[in-house]
Structures are given as structure tokens and as C-alpha cells.
Amino acid sequence: MFFSTLQIRELTYILQNFSRSSIILIDGLCQNTDPDEVEYLNWAICEALLEHKAFTFLATNRYELTSLASFYPNVEKHKRMTITKEGMKTEREIGKILMIQYKY
């Protein structure tokens, strides 16, 4: 699978219109892109966002992007996971873990 036309248009719009006061939320950057190309494309997009210092929250499963924090002091990396309440054994364990619930 390759980067979709819609994804390209959305990212082009973001890259042409964001500013230092923008908040950018991206989930799954280039996730449908050819695996041989995705690393370089993701890195280039992230560097473009970092250059203009917009606050960006990027959720990804691409491990190579975690090394951005080694090159850019304004990058923070955080690992998140979702655990269902049924998977916990005691109330004490539940208190130690952030529970994420989606309500529609």
C-alpha cells in the first residue's frame, strides 16, 4: 500500500499553514506507505514540523522516530498502552495504570 492522495493533501495543507502557535495532532503518520519509504518520509515530515516549533503530538508505532529525541532537545517521547479492566487482577493494580476508556 502507498501513501494515499488524501493523506498527501492533508499533510501538504498542514505543512503550508501551521505556525508556532499551532497545535498539530497526527495519528499513524504514513502508516499505509511502502515500508521501504516510510522511515525517510516520516523523518522528513517530523523535521519540517520541528523546524517551525509548532506543538505536535504524534502517535506512531514506528520505532525509528523515537531517535528524534536524540537529535532535537525539544522532542519528548512517551510510551502509552491501553489495558482493559478485565485484564487486571486486583484493584491495587488498576490504581497503578492509566485506564483509557472510549465512550461514544
pLDDT of 101 reads 53
Q: Is the pTM of this model over 0.85?
A: no
Lowest model confidence (mean pLDDT) among 58-62, 82-86, 95-99 = 95-99
Lowest model confidence (mean pLDDT) among 37-41, 82-86, 91-95 = 91-95
pLDDT of 1 reads 45
Q: Which long-range contacts (CB under 8 A, 24 or more apart) does 28-36 make?
A: 28/59, 28/60, 28/61, 29/58, 29/60, 29/62, 30/3, 30/62, 31/60, 31/61, 32/1, 32/2, 32/3, 32/4, 32/7, 33/1, 33/2, 33/3, 34/1, 34/2
